[in-house]
Amino acid sequence: METNPIIENLPKHLKQYIVDQNYDNYTPIDHAVWRYVMRQNFNYLSKVAHPAYIEGLEKTGITIDRIPNVTGANRILRKIGWAAVNVDGFIPPSAFMEFQKYKVLVIAADIRQLKHIEYTPAPDIIHEAAGHAPFIAVPEYSNYLVEFGNIGSKAFSSAKDYELYEAIRHLSIIKEYPYTPKNEIEEGEKRIEEIQSNMGEPSEMALIRRLHWWTVEYGLIGTLQKPMIYGAGLLSSIGESSSCMKDDVKKIPYTIHAMNVEFDITKPQPQLFVTPSFEYLKEVLNQFANTMALSKGGLEGIEKAINSKNIATIVYSSGLQVSGLFTEVITDAKSEPIYFKTTGPTNLAYNNKELPGHNKSYHQHGFSSPIGLLVNTNKPLELFTDADLTEINIRIGKEAQLNFQSGVVIKGQVEKITRNQESKIMLITFSNCEVSYQNKKLFDPSWGIFDMAVGEKIISAFSGAADKEAFDEQYAVPTEHTKKVEYDEQTKNLQALYKEVRKIRETNTDQEKISQIWNTIKVNYNSDWLLPIEILEITEKGKYNSELNTELKQYLNKLKIQNASLSKLILDGFNLISN
């Protein structure tokens, strides 16, 4: 892979998703599928997509004739501050968004089958490279993607979210495998329906994924009367990019309310949202961010951290970040959080960097601390000066008692006071410490040192650790992998024919072989339509007898009538040739 500082500096929990492209594994049929789709895109999308699409293809080095090599793509993307990596199909949404945060374009290494040329629910290189890549050259849109990744990677998920992700990934894998029994696909589709019907209250991740779907994947831009395509799902679907512009697909002004509209990845979308500009996308994103625990903190944030049942972080008003598995929160009569607890390895950080001496090993059995103000003062403890501390008898090496307005009481010997760069107190470390609340013991001296987090309130909460590298947080890597197809001899022979036709077209040599290839197709591959289109393209431009040209057209027209699903594909192929 082309060296790119962005890739080199990725955290290791993201690097585990990167796979080799194995460019030589693409078959001649794969390249023909890419070429057909890209020619259709240039022909049609130049009329209905945002003008930045065609410009972006050139800027990102995406060509018509061949599947892009990620090594070459990185060489070009580096110039606009981005990078690209290959992955194996769908990766977890949080990981996908974190890649986006680091300006890394995630490209599925595989390409759709010929029979799925119009659309596939599986991520493939057509969708990622030809769909997502062009618009990252637009600064306003690029900034939106980065901010989306930054916010989305911190959204809380539920166990149901991951269950749905795995079901969708499984279906996308078996649908793209040509030998999957029909009943297995039906079972996969039924499984997704069952999960979707029992999701419960949508999580932050579920809501922000909807915003991602209705913008990055299926977004329109402009006016309701004259919308233009910019969403990668539409740009990469030669079927839906056409149908979506029809009046029976409802066009709706894009607002934050799009987060309440569900989507079905396996079906054409019945409505689409239109943004007036790329800048407006960020406005809506910020509106959504203000609804998240990331911005609100408080009891809601702590409860989301607990309910996620995954590693999470809460942030005190002092700036102290606590990362771990949150399991308990105590509230007062006003339902304000006054004390919390984590279970298992926990670390403390500031500005997303672990505090020295406060790693997972030190806090391996969990962490707990109070939240709030001390009695007889409205001044937050984190703002106390050394003189203020002396006034309430908090001095290093001396016994002290802290009485919180909530009723939490802390008694012990002060060993250390830790301040941040702004001189705010973040931690007060006690030995021989006892913590109690309403006659309930929360910490016993026999448990060791008590590091008390300091802060009037919790101002933020988000998914994942603050310092992921130090916490050594690992994302779950899918155990089910994309199935590699073992082609039979007949298919390999067809691939060889595609390769010969490509060579004839590109070198303008061996034209006498065209008739031989055509005769082989008629006898052995009479359901194939794409190679006859490619041969017809050559006969239209070269010096061939009119009988061959006429026979090809008759064959394709007959195939178009016999198989209605091929009608538009063949007709579009005719149009490409005539144009």
Please report, for the domain that includes residue 12, its CATH number. Answer: 1.10.800.10
Lowest mean pLDDT among 57-71, 126-140, 301-315, 539-553: 539-553
* Residue 130 shares a structural domain with residue 99: yes
Q: Are residues 237 and 119 in contact, defined by beta-carbon separation less than 8 angstroms?
A: yes
Does residue 368 belong to any structural domain of this protein? Answer: yes
Same domain, 239 and 326: no
pLDDT band at 285 (very low <50, low <70, confident <90, very high): very high
Per-residue pLDDT band at 529 (split at 50, 70, 90)? very high
Residue 7 makes CB contacts below 8 A (sequence gap 6+) with 1, 18, 74, 83, 85, 104
Average pLDDT of the residues in 254-283? 94
Are 444 and 452 contacting, i.e. CB atoms less than 8 angstroms apart?
no
493 and 405, same structural domain? no
Q: Is residue 476 part of a domain?
A: no
Cα(565)–Cα(240) distance, integer angstroms: 14
463 and 494 inside one domain: no
Q: How far apart are CA 330 and CA 101, in angstroms?
A: 34
Number of domains in the chain: 3
Is residue 80 domain-shared with residue 211, that is, in the same domain? yes
Complete DSSP assignment for 284-302: HHHHHHTTSHHHH-HHHHH
List the one residue out of 67, 110, 68, 66 whose CA is nearest residue 87.
110
Whether residues 389 and 341 fall in one domain: yes
Q: Answer whether residue 178 shows pLDDT above 60.
A: yes
Residues 157, 218: one domain?
Answer: yes
Last residue of some domain: 417, 441, 471? 471
Chain-wide mean pLDDT for the chain?
Answer: 93
Tell me the pTM: 0.90
* Domain shared by 325 and 422, yes or no: yes
- Residues 198, 165, single domain; the answer is yes
At 417 the pLDDT is 98
475 with 402: CB under 8 angstroms?
Answer: no
Q: What is the mean pLDDT of residues 339-352?
A: 98
CA-CA distance, 542 to 546, in Å (whole number)?
Answer: 11
Same structural domain, 174 and 315: no
Mean pLDDT, to the nearest integer, of 217-235?
A: 95
Position 84 in a domain: yes
What are the tens digits of pLDDT across the range 377-419? 999 999 999 999 999 999 999 999 999 999 999 999 999 999 9
Identify the helix (H) or strand (E) that includes residue 431: strand 425-437
Domain that holds residue 396: 311-471
Half-sphere exposure (Cβ direction) of 91: Cα atoms closer than 13 Å: 27
pLDDT score, position 545: 66
Mean pLDDT of 561-571: 92
Answer yes or no: is 43 within a domain: yes
Confidence class of residue 543 from pLDDT cuts 50, 70 and 90? low
Residue 337: which CATH number?
2.30.30.100
Strand partners, 221: 228, 275
Q: Specify if 383 maps to a domain.
A: yes
Specify whether 54 is located in the same domain as 101: yes
Tokens of residue 363, six digits: 């806090």
Q: What's the average model confidence in pLDDT over 306-329?
A: 97
Residue 268 lies in a domain: yes
Quick check: is 478 in a domain?
Answer: no
pLDDT exceeds 50 at position 1: no
Do both 387 and 250 map to the same domain? Answer: no
Residue 305 domain-assigned?
no
pLDDT tens-digit map of 199-225: 888 999 999 999 999 999 999 999 999
Question: Percent of the chain having pLDDT more than 70?
Answer: 99
Beta-sheet strands, E only, within 137-254: 220-222, 227-229, 250-253
Look at residues 437, 471, 505 and tell me which one is the last residue of a structural domain.
471
